[in-house]
Chains A and B, each alone.
Chain A
Amino acid sequence: MERGSGATQSGEGPAVFEPVIVAFLCNWCACEGADAAGRARLELPANVRPVRLLCSGRVDPQHVLEAFACGADGVLILGCRPGECRYREGNLHAMKRVALLRRLLGPLGVETERLDLEWVAAGEGKRYAEVVTGMVESLRALGPLKPQSASTHTTAKAPDARTKVEL
């Protein structure tokens, strides 16, 4: 992924921070919603990196953590409205995970606003545009996430062991 944090757009006026948002879109609702937004030629921010999944309930918490580790400034999960999940309860599972994930991420320095779950039905192009635009705006206000480099558990990072050790 292209690192978004810190990226700015220079034009006239002050530089604007362009956050990177990884958006997990349910195939049956949000993807259609995004399409509808495109067909209606609504203005959409270019900050979103969409990932199509069969259901919002398919988003593993580890996917979210990995997105942040790779440089996302925000993660957005879009699913069907309650009661409309094609797999009955996938969206409810997503809701439970997000509630707990936010509590896990808080002490790690990830503000609540950086992880969002919203319902966007197929055909709701306008709502899709509003949700992504709203998130871009709140991330602009927060600034870049800048994670400390997480562990790499690399196999060959031995420092130069010949360094003289003085004790």
Chain B
Amino acid sequence: MKSRPARRRPKLGMTWLSSCGGCEESILDLGPDLAGILGQVDLVYWPIGMDGRMEDLCKVPDGGLDAVLINGSVRTEEHVETAGLLRQKARIVVAHGSCAHLGGVYGLANLFSREAVLERSYGEDGPRLPRLLDRVKALGDVVKVDVVIPGCPPTPDRVREALDSLIRGTLARGAVLADDRALCRTCPRGETRRPDTRIRRFRRVHEATLDPDLCFLEQGIVCLGPVTRGGCEARCVRGNLPCRGCFGPVGEVKDQGGGGVGFLAALLEGASEEELEQALDGLADPTGLLYRYSLPSSLFGGRNEGEGP
């Protein structure tokens, strides 16, 4: 076999928008592999890890970066500008983590108006911030996204997959680096889920003594596995916690909340309104539960003027 010429080291940028830092941690979670990966890329821009000034980024020619990983939600006008500038500089834009992918946990702020959020957090004299947008957005709402690494935060395997394929030159546009099937299909408890189970009243995790081998739904506890993409190695379930949906809706589901209502309603026991309301009373904050990571990319975003749940 003829030896191929050594590949050029791909130029990479990484940054955060409205982010908790967990996605940046997911880079460090690569552990010892990180050193090897960093040796094979040319890391041009990474504000949290090295000197990363906007003016240096501006000097990069358009399309001069092979890829950029962006994590966090789009909350302020500055985020919109940063995302736009990176889109211009990078050939491939990767939405890194649930916030960039779907709007993320911060997207629940969309249950409130921008003014209510500022007032609640800072009262009268808040810090001087870049102007907040009316609502939290996903990265795909402001720039074209080419690749998605789902997860809150993504697992090391998913991040490694993205960086490895970037290095090999096989990172393809349109890819969602996760399983296309529901989590239940690969969940270690999948076999224990029965089709005829009915729930008389939902319970919360702290209200139950959890059986570590039995499907959560069988125990009356909401698990979003049926409407969520797999590919997370069922880490939460293995840790004896139900899935909260961070990998986003599985391919055939457009809206995680709507999909969640669909399968949970089918599990409800009861034939009268009273019985159903009773069963649902055990379900705390269904909006926050079913849209935990995806409210900004839901079909109906809400009126954004309420006082919240």
Contacts and interface: CB of A to CB of B under 8 A. Distances in A.
B303 A109 contact: yes
A12 interface: no
B193 interface: no
Interface stretch (B24-32, B231-239, B273-281): B273-281
Interface residues of A, number: 46
Interface string B66-95: 000000000000101110110110000000
Contacts, number: 164
A110 B287 contact: no
A106 B257 CA distance: 13
Given A65-B257, A65-B299, A99 B273 contact: yes
Interface in B142-164: 142-145
A93 B84 CA distance: 45
A112 B300 CA distance: 16
Greatest chain A CB density within 10 A among B54, B110, B137, B300 is at B300
Contacts of B305: 109
Given A96-B265, A99-B276, A104-B286, A158 B301 contact: no
A10 interface: no
Greatest chain A CB density within 10 A among B144, B262, B309 is at B262
The secondary-structure label for the interface of chain A is loop
A69 B302 CA distance: 9
B204 to A, nearest CB: 15
B88 A161 contact: yes
Given A148-B134, A148-B135, A163-B81, A107 B140 contact: no
Contact of B306 (A69, A97, A108): A108
Nearest to B257: A104
Contacts of B141: 151-154, 157
Interface string A136-167: 00000000011111111111111111110101
Contacts of B255: 62, 65
B186 to A, nearest CB: 24
B103 interface: yes
Contacts of B258: 60-62, 64-65
Contacts of A61: 257-259, 261-262, 265
A163 B144 CA distance: 18
B304 interface: yes
Interface string A94-123: 011101110111111110000000000000
A110 B309 CA distance: 12
B264 interface: yes
Interface stretch (B14-22, B209-217, B290-298): B290-298
B254 A62 contact: yes
Contacts of A95: 273, 276
Given A99-B265, A107-B308, A158 B144 contact: yes
B176 interface: no
Size category of the B interface is 35 or more
Nearest to B85: A161
A93 B306 contact: no
B301 A151 contact: yes
Contacts of A66: 254, 299-300
A104 B261 contact: yes
Contacts of B253: 62
A109 B266 CA distance: 25
A100 B257 CA distance: 10
A54 interface: no
Contact of A157 (B103, B142, B309): B142
B303 A62 contact: no
Interface string B100-126: 000100000011000000000000000
A65 B276 contact: no
Nearest to A103: B286
A131 interface: no
A69 B262 CA distance: 18
B270 interface: yes
11 contacts: A61-B261, A62-B255, A93-B265, A100-B261, A104-B287, A107-B287, A147-B301, A152-B141, A159-B81, A163-B84, A167-B53
Given A69-B300, A100-B283, A158-B144, 6 more contacts: A61-B257, A100-B280, A104-B257, A151-B137, A155-B145, A165-B81
